[in-house]
Amino acid sequence: MLYAKASAADKRVALRAGLSSGRILRYPGAFNPLSAKLIQQKGFEGVYISGAVLSADLGLPDIGLTTLTEVAGRSQQIARMTDLPAIVDADTGFGEPMNVARTIQTLEDAGLAGMHIEDQINPKRCGHLDGKQVVDTDTAIKRIRAAVDARRDPNFLVMARTDIRAVDGLDAAVTRAKALQDAGADAIFPEAMGSLAEFETIRAAVSVPILANMTEFGKGELYTVQQLEDVGMNLVIFPVSLLRLAMGSAARGLDAIESHGSLTTMLPEMQHRADLYKLLDYSSYSQFDSGIFDFTLNPHISTPSSTQV
């Protein structure tokens, strides 16, 4: 009932343990607190909080318009609803290295298990847009050092993302990844890799855990969880996927109202009321007030997946 039971400290320990387990961790992107609960219910290892989703949710493009206050506020709302560790996209850290330090402390206070800071210039843009630019190695290192020095919980994960692959090529990505590891990064996020072999090259270059970004319709190909585990990846994110699925379904629903005047044909695609109530844990709330949970299923409408065997 209410918020998740696991503390932020416990979640950070769980993330660290997962990263050293030798198994790849699957982190779908939650587009709201409710979808974070669904990710947990379905048995995933953690929740990703995407900057692209956060901006899109506000109706904005992913070009560095969101503020630390907005990102911290939304990620706190999402992180507190799940016992799973949540990793948030902190873009370029919201300013100079001093701002990065404050960003880290703010995200720690918001209950996140970790975050990533990237080496794009300010203002950043989505990693799959053309025309990206990156800062020099010295500036990239300063961001990571500022983050590492500022954290108060040593288990809070500081991940360094590098966007340099699309700008200067794979060799530059290898050099940058090594420099970021040396600066104290706990993990590396090599953005927009061209192939599985490129992931392998980064794997051979650094010893810290590596994240693979399986975002759809981007610069990179989509690989299976198994393929990524086989090349030594430790974490895979599906950052915008749930939002894309939900929005795709919403668009089809609106079209159905337009063409049929009804959503009856769409009922199988919908989360059933009973499944929503289960996810929200209505039954626990009725321990406080037995009048709350008085929902009975109408068998004539459709069968919720929660009752299917």
Ligand X SMILES: C[C@](O)(C(=O)O)[C@H](CC(=O)O)C(=O)O
- Residue 116 binds which entry of Mg ion, ligand X, none, CB below 5-8 Å type-dependent: none
239 binds ligand X (CB under 6 A): yes
Amino acid at 71: V
| 50 in Cβ contact with 29 (< 8 Å) | yes
Q: Is 126 one of the annotated active-site residues of the chain?
A: yes
Catalytic residue among 118, 119, 163, 198: 118
Pairing of strands 86-89, 47-49: parallel
Residue 162 near ligand X by CB under 6 A? no
Q: What CA–CA distance (Å, rounded) separates 61 from 35? A: 21
Taking CB under 6 A as the rule, does residue 28 contact ligand X? Answer: no
Here's the x/- map for ligand X, 206-225, by CB under 6 A: it reads as -------x-x--x-------
**From the list 26, 37, 74, 128, which residue makes contact with ligand X (rule: CB under 6 A)?**
128
Q: What is d(CA 53, CA 50) in angstroms, rounded to the nearest whole number?
A: 5
Minimum CB distance to Mg ion smaller for 14 or for 210: 210
Helices (H), 194-264: 196-205, 225-230, 241-260
Whether 277 sits among the annotated catalytic residues: the reply is no
- Decide: 163 and 134 in contact? Cβ < 8 Å: yes
Q: Does 73 bind ligand X (CB under 6 A)?
A: no
Q: Which is nearer to ligand X, 240 or 242 (CB)?
A: 240
Q: Are 107 and 90 in contact (CB under 8 A)?
A: yes
Contact 173, 132 (CB under 8 A): no
Footprint on residues 255-284 left by ligand X (CB under 6 A): none
CB 84 within 8 A of CB 45: yes
| Smaller CB separation from Mg ion, 61 or 268 | 61
Active site (annotated) includes residue 182: no
Report the distance separating Cα 84 and Cα 35, nearest Å.
Answer: 12
Separation of alpha carbons 70 and 276, rounded Å: 27
Q: How far is the CB of 2 from Mg ion (least distance, A)?
A: 30
Stretch that binds ligand X, among 50-58, 131-139, 169-177, 269-277 (CB under 6 A): 50-58
Unique residue bearing structure tokens 């030798």: 22
Instruction: Kindly state whether residue 50 participates in binding ligand X, applying the rule CB under 6 A.
Output: yes
> Does residue 114 interact with ligand X by CB under 6 A?
no
By CB under 6 A, name the binding residues for ligand X: 50-52, 62, 89, 126-128, 191, 213, 215, 218, 239-240
Catalytic residues: 48, 62, 89, 91, 116, 118, 126, 161, 191, 213
